[in-house]
Amino acid sequence: MNNQWVEFANNVKRLYGKDFVPLHEPTFNDKEVEYVTDCIKTGWVSSVGAYVTQFEEELAKFVGMKHAVAVVNGTAALHIALKVAGVEAEDEVLMPSLTFIATANAVSYLGAVPHFIDVSMETLGIDPSVLKIHLNKITELREGELFNKETGRRIKALVPMHTFGHPVDMEGIQGICNDYRIELVEDAAESLGSYYKNKHTGSFGKISAISFNGNKIMTTGGGGAIITDDATLASYAKHLTTTAKIQHSWEYRHDEIGFNYRMPNLNAALGCAQLEKMPEFIAQKRLLTKRYEQLITNLQGVHLFKEPKSCKSNYWLQTLILEDVINRDEVLAILNENGVMSRPIWTPMHKLNMFKDCPRMNLRVTEFLNERVINIPSTPIKEGIL
């Protein structure tokens, strides 16, 4: 077993032409330097400037939505998206346990309670079929709102997360939200450039969140965005993320508790350059998937996760699923010791101390994947050496 993984590590290093291959690096060239330099020369480097406006307009167009509000990171985007969607303290919010902690954190910032749902082997995201069974068992509608019979709390929203860029079954998710009268707030942090049945992820619900962290498919350094077709929600989100400041020529007036979440112009300049390259990045990501398919041909006990049916994934993080749970940490050790940065999937939220008492359904598939998933280097490549 050891020899095959050492050989795989050596092949990955040859693919990238490096002695050490990080998990994911940003890709920059002269365009980023040009835009950021221009931004510095204007003197407008904080949360007001032409690049912020340009980035919001171009991002909205890219995802096929009417409005985008650029903020400091994806967690802030999800926090505000949930707030303007009507999530309040003591509400429950349905989400996968198999997610990055930002999903659960954003709910907690509002004083709301994460309610953990199992995922599908086909998508790695929320499984609508098992969710429906769970909701039929533990919920009831009261005056048009859904309540958890076991806790007495209102269930206000459902937050699907598109794991590693792979779209969730959004048709099933939308059906759940419609039938049970809950808000759909997509966590599309990882899925910029991914499509479910030719429609961009993040465009199915009332409002959604995207991340542009340094390890995402494109980056603004640190950054995120709220996207929506609802002009009223977009305006309110922008107001809240600008410290709820009322426009005035010279006075500082605020009409509620707000947040200093707006994306700086400097970051937006970087984002404008990166967004221009998204088609290239996606093509290179998909090429990398083909290269990995070739590299794992002779590997025993593992398969490469592929995009779900009727979807086009951005393949943000390349994902291996091991057949034998016993081997996961051994494989990780071999790859990292041989210069190929790899990592397990996130610790499921229900296993973290601060969320261990949150309501949850049976998380059989989540537990299975937690023991078997490995992410391997995913920086886009132009060709790669085989």
**For 175-192, what is each residue's pLDDT tens digit?**
999 999 999 999 999 999
Query: Which segments within 97-193 are labelled E, that is strand?
Result: 113-117, 139-142, 145-148, 155-158, 183-187
Output the six-digit token pair for 69.
Answer: 């509000």
Query: In the beta sheet, which residues pair with residue 260?
Result: 242
CA–chain centroid gap for 267, Å, is: 19
Output the six-digit token pair for 254.
Answer: 């605020």
CA 144, CA 155: separation in Å to the nearest integer? 11
Q: In the predicted model, what is the mean pLDDT of residues 276-290? A: 97
* CB environment 291-318: b (16+ within 10 A), e (fewer): bbeebbeebeebeebebbeebbbbbbbb
**Residue 44 CB: number of other CB atoms within 10 A?**
17
Q: Radius of gyration over alpha carbons of the chain, in Å?
A: 21
Q: In the predicted model, what is the mean pLDDT of residues 196-217? A: 97
Res 305 pLDDT > 80:
yes
Q: Is 262 exposed, middle or buried (0-12, 13-18, 19+ CB in 10 A)?
A: buried
Give SS3 for 67: strand
Q: In the predicted model, what is the mean pLDDT of residues 52-58? A: 98
Q: What is the dihedral of CA 170, 175, 177, 179, to 10 degrees?
A: -170
**Domains in the chain with CATH codes:** 2-25+278-376 (3.90.1150.10), 30-276 (3.40.640.10)
Sign of the CA dihedral with 291 first, then 294, 298, and 304 last: positive
User: pTM of the prediction?
Assistant: 0.96
Determine contact, residues 139/155, Cβ cutoff 8 Å.
Answer: yes
Cα(first)–Cα(last) distance of the chain, in Å?
A: 22
Give SS3 for 362: coil
**Would you place residue 378 in the very low, low, confident or very high pLDDT band (cuts 50, 70, 90)?**
very high
Q: What kind and span of H or E run contains 77?
A: helix 74-84
**Would you place residue 1 in the very low, low, confident or very high pLDDT band (cuts 50, 70, 90)?**
low
**Residue 203 CB: number of other CB atoms within 10 A?**
19
Query: In the beta sheet, which residues pair with residue 140?
Result: 147
Query: Which segments within 108-182 are labelled E, that is strand?
Result: 113-117, 139-142, 145-148, 155-158
Determine contact, residues 31/224, Cβ cutoff 8 Å.
Answer: no
Res 384 pLDDT > 60:
no
Determine contact, residues 196/217, Cβ cutoff 8 Å.
Answer: no
The whole-chain average pLDDT of the chain stands at 96
Output the six-digit token pair for 354.
Answer: 């601060």
Q: In the predicted model, what is the mean pLDDT of residues 268-280? A: 98
Is beta strand 343-344 parallel, antiparallel or unpaired with respect to 373-376?
antiparallel
Contacts of residue 144, Cβ cutoff 8 Å, sequence gap at least 6: 181
Instruction: Report pLDDT digits (tens) over 314-337.
Output: 999 999 999 977 789 999 999 999
Determine contact, residues 349/361, Cβ cutoff 8 Å.
Answer: no
CA distances (Å), 263 to each of 67, 242, 258, in order? 15, 10, 15
Sign of the CA dihedral with 331 first, then 333, 336, and 341 last: positive
Q: In the predicted model, what is the mean pLDDT of residues 235-255? A: 94
Give the phi and the psi of residue 315 in degrees, each rounded to 5.
Answer: 50, 50
**Would you place residue 249 in the very low, low, confident or very high pLDDT band (cuts 50, 70, 90)?**
confident
The confidence score (pLDDT) of residue 27 equals 95
Determine contact, residues 262/47, Cβ cutoff 8 Å.
Answer: yes
